[in-house]
Amino acid sequence: MQPVPDEQRTIARAKQGDEEAVTLLYERYVDLIYAYISYRVESAEVAEDLTSEVFLRMVRSLGSYTDRGLPFRAWLFRIAANLITDHYRHKNKYPVSPIHDHFESDEPNPFEQVVEDQEQLDMQLALRTLPTQYQDLLLLHFVEDLPYEEIVKIMNKSAAALRAMQYRALKSLAQQLEKLHRSRSAIWGDEQ
Amino acid sequence: MIDDHLTPEEQKLTEHLRAMPRRTLRPAARAAIREQMMSEFRARIDSPEWQPEIVERRRVTPVLLRTVGLVATLAIVAAVVFAQEAIRQAATTSTITPAPTELQPTQLQAITLVPSSTTTLAPSPENTPTPLNQEVVPATSVPFTLAPSDTLTPAPPTTAPVVVPPTAVDGAGVVVVEGPVSRIDGNRITIYSFDIEIAPQDPILASLAVGDMVHVEGSLAPSGVMIASTVGRFVSAPPADGTAGAAIVNGRVEAINGNQLVANGVPVRLTPGDPILQRLKVGDLVEIWGTFEGSVLIPTQMTISTSAPASGNPAPPSNNGNPSPQGMGNDDNNGNGSGNGMGMGMGDDD
């Protein structure tokens, strides 16, 4: 996703108190932010709460927002990432329980997608066992499709650090998936 | 790019990641979040903290402002030391105890930072000096005065008088003292514990009486006596229409945002659509009477003067019939019932 050309003008209007501009910013980014948060938290309710908090913070800070080369959405992602960290810090743990069932599915008949669903569930479970920075990197780049230049700014890392991190993140993810597959095979094997 | 170096296994993994179902926000939640956000936004833009223009100005000239702030802070340090010495001297003949935290609005006391013609210091949020200790009345370089609204010449406070040290001094050494006259001895008056010497030929001496609330600007002599350069009497009556006129702000408009403006660092909120907003612009000199809601002044009267008066004082209000601070002492506008001789912190109007 490329930065929106008239974004600076929209932000300037929002800073002047233009409600239409604020709504425009909201509509432009709410889905991105919600999707990102929802992969990282345990339920749709929490994802909605945190998404709401992101945009409350956006309007609270908009008056003092200045463009320092960081795309507006990167600023929002950074707020979201901090909120997620706070959320888990408050809960004092990183849950690894399945989140899939709590979210609505776009599939008309989920039963026809058992295998695919199982793979997706494994992917989500494996993802959530990774260190938070690995999760952020993989979600922002491969799921949210953000370019590395932007992720560098959101995560405050150098490009080289990001490159190394991606290598480790994918390796860890593969290992976690492998573990899940092994344990599932063992369970099904016993039952059969 | 990083992705060009992925192994086939990693490629497969990333394809799985990309294929993860996209979460979508429920329409009801989407609307609720938007509504909540907009409520917050409306509340924010009505608050005095929302001053984009000022924020922008801060960004443009941070170095200059820091420099001005540093100079002002240094000047205040020197003034406080000097003033404390004066207080010590005065305390040998008086039992008055400094208690600035007991300030009451009805006691008409204020300390103002008065920019002189030799400095570019202007009272605005960027260069407001930080109070250095408890004896310095808070960083209100904002020259507004809380005035009693029920009497023209308030009696001296019945509670223990409050010493207001002449803390606000700019680079030129201007000291401002405001309060009730407690003693008159020839051309020397006393406000709280401060002896103030007024020029013998100053016409204000003929009419000045104990209990008068005055605003004095001047400099401190080494003896601790203040030599007045400007003396003005407060007339702190409410407007004739009966509305509460508890505060006055004189000064330049620094920012305008919708129906809100900042005059001399004081956030002011006008009624949306007020016709005065159409001709008001940044830089205008204004005099505003009103009441404070929190830190925001809600005007009951407001006048604009687009050009700076020669004396450095704001132009008189145009609403004849409503009392306003009367010109006294060094002013030329004695007797017309308007204007003022109190400086009000706008010494340089350039």
> What is the average pLDDT across B287-296?
72
pLDDT at position B193 over 60: yes
- Give bridge partners of residue B188 from the DSSP assignment: B185, B197
Indicate the pLDDT class of residue B19, thresholds 50, 70 and 90. confident
Residue A164 touches partner B, C-beta closer than 8 Å: no
**Chain A residues touching B34 at Cβ < 8 A:** 23, 26-27, 30, 55
B33/A48 Cβ within 8 A: yes
Determine which of B55-59, B215-219, B225-229, B263-267 has the lowest per-residue pLDDT on average. Answer: B55-59
> What is the average pLDDT across B33-45?
90
Angle at alpha carbon of residue B303, lines to B302 and B307, rounded to 5°: 145
How confident is the model over B116-156, as pLDDT tens digits?
Answer: 333 333 334 434 443 333 333 333 333 434 343 333 333 34
pLDDT at B247: 58
- The token pair at B143 is 């020259």
Q: Can you tell me the distance from the alpha carbon of B84 to that of B90, in angstroms, rounded to the nearest whole number?
A: 10
Global ipTM: 0.77
**E strands along chain B, which residues?**
144-146, 175-185, 188-191, 194-197, 213-220, 226-233, 247-257, 260-263, 266-269, 285-293, 296-305
Mean pLDDT of all residues belonging to chain A: 81
Contacts with A55 (C-beta within 8 Å, 6 or more apart), sequence order:
A26, A30, A33, B33, B34, B36, B37
Minimal C-alpha gap between A187 and chain B (Å)? 24
How confident is the model over A1-36, as pLDDT tens digits?
Answer: 445 568 888 998 998 889 999 999 999 999 999 999
pLDDT at position A90 over 80: no
B258/A143 Cβ within 8 A: no
Mutate to test the interface with A, among B4, B16, B25, B26 (most CBs of A within 10 A): B25
Minimal C-alpha gap between A85 and chain B (Å)? 20
Considering CB atoms only, which of A19, A39, A106 is closest to B41? A19
**Chain A residues touching B27 at Cβ < 8 A:** none
Considering CB atoms only, which of B18, B21, B257 is closest to A17? B257
Minimal C-alpha gap between B287 and chain A (Å)? 26
- Rounded to 5 degrees, what are φ and ψ at B251? 155, -170
**Chain B residues touching A107 at Cβ < 8 A:** 21
**Chain A residues touching B53 at Cβ < 8 A:** none
How confident is the model over B260-287, as pLDDT tens digits?
Answer: 888 877 788 888 888 888 888 888 888 7
Indicate the pLDDT class of residue B7, thresholds 50, 70 and 90. confident
Minimal C-alpha gap between A180 and chain B (Å)? 15
pLDDT at position A171 over 50: yes
pLDDT at B57: 45
* Contact (CB, 8 A) for B138 and B131: yes
Residue A48 touches partner B, C-beta closer than 8 Å: yes
* pTM of this structure: 0.42
Q: At what angle do helices A72-91 and A148-155 cross, to 10 degrees?
A: 50
B41/A22 Cβ within 8 A: yes
Of chain B, the percentage scoring pLDDT greater than 90 comes to 5
Residue A101 touches partner B, C-beta closer than 8 Å: no
A104/B25 Cβ within 8 A: no
**Chain B residues touching A176 at Cβ < 8 A:** none
B2/A148 Cβ within 8 A: yes
- The token pair at B267 is 């956030």
Minimal C-alpha gap between B296 and chain A (Å)? 18
B16/A59 Cβ within 8 A: no
